Chains A and B, each alone.
Chain A
Amino acid sequence: MGQGNGTSHIDVRYVADLARLELTDEEVEKFQGELESVLTYVDTLSRLDLSDIEPTAHANPQANVWREDGASESMCRDDVIRNAPDSAEGKYIRVPPIIEE
């Protein structure tokens, strides 16, 4: 399995850490097998000769799209704060401590 680079081994626990995802041991085990099959499948792309091909990042590439730099209505603060899991005084989003004691 895998292609030239031998890239289809994935360390699910490590990558989940990068993605800030807490996983159960069962999930790690399940995803490990499933994602290895997916990676082996996507490695079929290595059969293509893609030298000298420009990558496509977007279907209809647009560059430098500007709008008028004018003042306009913004969202209502109350509506935004209401969605925060924790808030204070109706105007602050309360966050967990960033600096530990």
Chain B
Amino acid sequence: MDKNIATLSFAHAAELLREGQISSRELVQALLSRVDVHDEALGAYLSVARESALSEAEEADARRQKGEQLSPWDGLPISVKDNIAVAGQANTCGSKILEGYTSPYDATVVRRLKDAGCIVLGRTNMDEFAMGSSTEHSAYKPVANPWARSCVPGGSSGGSAASVAAGEALAALGSDTGGSIRQPAAFCGVVGLKPTYGAVSRYGLVAFASSLDQIGPLTKTVRDSAVLYDLISGPDPNDATSVPDAATGVSGVFDSGLSLEGKKIGMPKEFFDYEGLSAEVREKVQNAAEALEQRGANVKEVSLPYNEFAIAAYYIIAPAEASSNLARFDGIRYGRREVAEAAGRLLETYRLSRGKNFGEEVKRRIILGTYVLSSGYYDAYYLRAQKARTKLREDFARVFEECDVLLTPTTPSGAFRMKQVTEPLQMYRSDIFTISANLAGIPGISVPCGFTETEGLPVGAQFLAPHFAEKEMLRVAAAYEQASPAAGCYPDVTETDG
């Protein structure tokens, strides 16, 4: 069993459970063994729920024996990014300020997975408060890319992506505010889905930028992403921004043969002409376009002229929202408190608790966000960024009148080396292809499409679709996956152990 657990998908594991070829306990035990062997070197997990996972697995096995399984997914373990609440578990968000915190409740997505019988295996490492593109901003430890230990796994859901790629998880949940699911998925050679804004409840997701954040799956296959989307999506009375008209039953596309006849796929020329795009990545994504054409799709060039302004708008809007959201970490009700001895103890308590326990990137963004919202600067920054956001949205609306789905690179390059990107602005600019989907609120998915020839690092192709068109997007992504040269490729983590 341990031989193929590394490549076992969520959906395939469900089949094995149904056929009685494996028990939930064996499944959990096999994954825990892999975590024991590999995670010290990888750092994908911040905590592992060993005991609860094993006992929940035994309960699931007992249910199944009696024919009382809660769903076809009963007894399947999943790993959860550490900014999503799981009752009774830590919820550090990769930050020192939440060290020792135990969540009193389940996020809606976790509740839904538990209702289906799924088991939380552990909590995955991340950039502090999801701010970063490399997971180097975790306050606890960095995560190594399973394909090359000296490279980053991407971020901020770097632990989720690495755990799935390395076979330490069947699948994982992440969150995506500017690319934090899709970019690490691309860097680690797995599938990462960011749903339409409002499709998945954010209740229990520690807020970074509330108008951009969305929870989604990181998986080994497109089918697994579809299955998990169906499990976690849908309106929730606890999240007023969740909507009733989200796509449902998206895994149904796999029953229909995945035909691409007549599908119109747009390739935005600004993405492919971007000066920072590596030639290797461009070539792999162009190969993906050819593969789609061979399957009957009609591929054409389109234009998204406002995309070049996406990063500028994002680095006003996201820090602004973050500065407000992170005001709650003040050392009073939860989190670490630094005791001030001086006069003005309350103010000093706030300043010290926040100053000592937030990491550098979080402080940088809080200051930036506070500045752009401060008196006299609101119109010049925040309002202008919101107007640019409207232009971006209109860009996509226009393009989706002439095509069904867009194909782009997920990232300008393969994974970069640890400590290679030291300038914040340089790191921010690496999200050029993913950020606009968050600003417009549309869904996106990254699918492995090859490897760089120089270093053998994974490359991701990104598909984007109109609001709530997850089904069409997944159909194209799944059809492409069947033709992708990277499908079914996994890193040899034993070998890279050295």
Chain B 456-484, CB within 8 Å of chain A: the 1/0 string?
A: 00000000000100000000000000000
Q: How far is the CA of A80 from the CA of B331 in the complex (A)?
A: 14
Q: How far is the CA of A100 from the CA of B241 in the complex (A)?
A: 42
The answer to whether A20 and B351 have CB atoms under 8 Å apart is yes
A1 contacts the other chain (CB 8 A): no
Q: How far is the CA of A49 from the CA of B242 in the complex (A)?
A: 33
The answer to whether A22 and B374 have CB atoms under 8 Å apart is no
A71 contacts the other chain (CB 8 A): no
Write the nearest CB–CB distance from B422 to chain A, whole angstroms.
10
The answer to whether A38 and B368 have CB atoms under 8 Å apart is yes
Inter-chain contacts of A19 with B (CB < 8 A): 323, 354, 366-367, 370
Number of A-B contacts defined by CB within 8 Å:
181
Tally of contact residues, A, Cβ under 8 A = 55
A82 contacts the other chain (CB 8 A): yes
Q: How far is the CA of A56 from the CA of B243 in the complex (A)?
A: 18
The answer to whether B102 and A96 have CB atoms under 8 Å apart is no
The answer to whether A59 and B385 have CB atoms under 8 Å apart is no
Write the nearest CB–CB distance from B475 to chain A, whole angstroms.
22
Q: Given contacts A38-B315, A79-B102, A85-B336, are A56 and B390 in contact (CB under 8 A)?
A: yes
Inter-chain contacts of A88 with B (CB < 8 A): none
The answer to whether B315 and A41 have CB atoms under 8 Å apart is yes
Q: How far is the CA of A84 from the CA of B336 in the complex (A)?
A: 9
Inter-chain contacts of A67 with B (CB < 8 A): 237
Inter-chain contacts of A53 with B (CB < 8 A): 387, 390-391
Say which residue of B102, B377, B390, B467 sits within 8 Å of A82 (CB atoms). Answer: B102
Chain B residues touching A, majority SS: helix
Write the nearest CB–CB distance from B211 to chain A, whole angstroms.
5
Q: Given contacts A59-B441, A80-B104, are A5 and B337 in contact (CB under 8 A)?
A: no
B313 contacts the other chain (CB 8 A): yes
The answer to whether A56 and B366 have CB atoms under 8 Å apart is no
Inter-chain contacts of A41 with B (CB < 8 A): 311-312, 315, 425
Inter-chain contacts of B367 with A (CB < 8 A): 10, 12, 15-16, 19, 21, 31, 35
A29 contacts the other chain (CB 8 A): no
Write the nearest CB–CB distance from B176 to chain A, whole angstroms.
13
Inter-chain contacts of B34 with A (CB < 8 A): none
Chain A 12-47, CB within 8 Å of chain B: the 1/0 string?
A: 100110111111000100010011011101111110
Chain B 383-415, CB within 8 Å of chain A: the 1/0 string?
A: 111111111010000000000000000000000
The answer to whether B425 and A37 have CB atoms under 8 Å apart is yes
**What bracket does the count of chain B residues touching chain A fall in?**
35 or more
The answer to whether B102 and A42 have CB atoms under 8 Å apart is no
Q: How far is the CA of A98 from the CA of B104 in the complex (A)?
A: 28
Say which residue of A18, A21, A45, A57 sits within 8 Å of B313 (CB atoms). Answer: A45
User: Nearest B residue to A42 by beta-carbon distance?
Assistant: B312
Inter-chain contacts of B363 with A (CB < 8 A): 16, 21, 23, 27, 31
Say which residue of B197, B332, B390, B467 sits within 8 Å of A55 (CB atoms). Answer: B390
Q: How far is the CA of A95 from the CA of B339 in the complex (A)?
A: 10
B423 contacts the other chain (CB 8 A): yes
User: Nearest B residue to A7 by beta-carbon distance?
Assistant: B380
Write the nearest CB–CB distance from B314 to chain A, whole angstroms.
9
B428 contacts the other chain (CB 8 A): yes
The answer to whether A55 and B312 have CB atoms under 8 Å apart is no
B498 contacts the other chain (CB 8 A): no
Write the nearest CB–CB distance from A85 to chain B, whole angstroms.
4
Chain B 295-309, CB within 8 Å of chain A: the 1/0 string?
A: 000000000000001
B439 contacts the other chain (CB 8 A): yes
16 contacting pairs across A/B (C-beta < 8 A): A5-B380, A34-B364, A39-B371, A42-B381, A45-B313, A46-B380, A48-B384, A54-B387, A56-B387, A56-B393, A58-B241, A59-B198, A60-B467, A79-B102, A85-B331, A95-B332
Chain B: residues with CB nearer than 8 A to chain A? 101-102, 104-105, 196-198, 211-212, 237, 240-241, 243, 309, 311-313, 315-316, 323, 327, 330-337, 339-340, 343-347, 349-352, 354-356, 358, 360, 363-364, 366-368, 370-371, 374, 377, 380-381, 383-391, 393, 423-425, 428, 438-442, 467
